[in-house]
Amino acid sequence: AGWFRRLMHKPKPSSVESLKSSHSASSSPSSSSSAKSSSSSSTSLATSSISLSPVSAADISASDSPRWDKSYDVCICHSEGDVELVEELVSYLEGQPESFRCFLQLRDAVAGSAVVTALCDAVQNSHCWVMLITPSFLEDPWCRYQMHQALAEAPMANGRTIPVLKDVDRKDYPRELRNIYYIYMALKEKSFRQIRDTVMHYLQELCRSSTKRME
């Protein structure tokens, strides 16, 4: 009884990592959220604040930063029907002070290379993967393939896979991603900022972990 009372009075953590820890006791992030209602309680990142660690942008961009171990900071997985929105997102991320390096298939894939090879290389050589899940994404087998490659690369929800829902009902959220919190894109500018913060948070934690190993 004593340990239970202490547990009930323990202060709640506020970081994204605490959200992931608490999720292990639930079956799905969508079970307590409603993507269609911005006023309801939601477990998506659309209603969650991200606590950035004190690692500075200068540390992330330092010459010895583990950020440079991969060719890209972000790989954008999307359908052809969403190219215009994705180009806006890439422009936003690359225009940030950190100059995030984005892989955009139509722009960065090498001419003459096999599609499967290009997709796999992009996933393996990126720190984070943004999945822009729209009705077109759900119908595109290549999007599904790229999503599965990302999950195979990092099956645990450690911040690398970033699902972003747009015009998709909560019930249609891919089952493969049900153990990962998502961002619901209602306001474009706010969602872009959340994506930026999530990528930043992952890179900060990457630098923090690398520093601890060196010590």
Contacts of 157 by beta carbon, 8 Å cutoff, 6+ apart: 20, 23, 179, 180, 181
Separation between Cα atoms, residue 211 and residue 215, nearest integer Å = 6
Separation between Cα atoms, residue 28 and residue 51, nearest integer Å = 22
Q: What is the pTM of this model?
A: 0.73
Per-residue pLDDT, 91: 97
Structure tokens at 94: 């690359």
Q: In DSSP terms, which residues pair with 162 in a beta bridge?
A: 130
Query: Is the CB of residue 162 less than 8 Å from the CB of residue 73?
Result: no
Per-residue pLDDT, 131: 96
Separation between Cα atoms, residue 215 and residue 77, nearest integer Å = 36
pLDDT tens digits, residue range 5-17?
A: 554 444 444 433 3
Q: How many residues are recorded in the chain?
A: 215
Separation between Cα atoms, residue 204 and residue 65, nearest integer Å = 10
Which residue type does 10 have?
Answer: K
Structure tokens at 63: 């010459």
Task: Print burial letters for 18-49: b (CB count within 10 Å at least 16), e (below 16).
Answer: ebbeebeeeebbbeebebeeeeeebbbbbebe
CATH topology of domain 66-209: Rossmann fold (3.40.50)
Strand blocks (E) in 36-120: 72-77, 102-103
Q: What is the mean pLDDT of each run of 10 residues along the chain (215 residues)?
A: 48 40 38 38 42 60 92 95 96 96 89 86 94 96 91 84 95 93 95 97 91 71
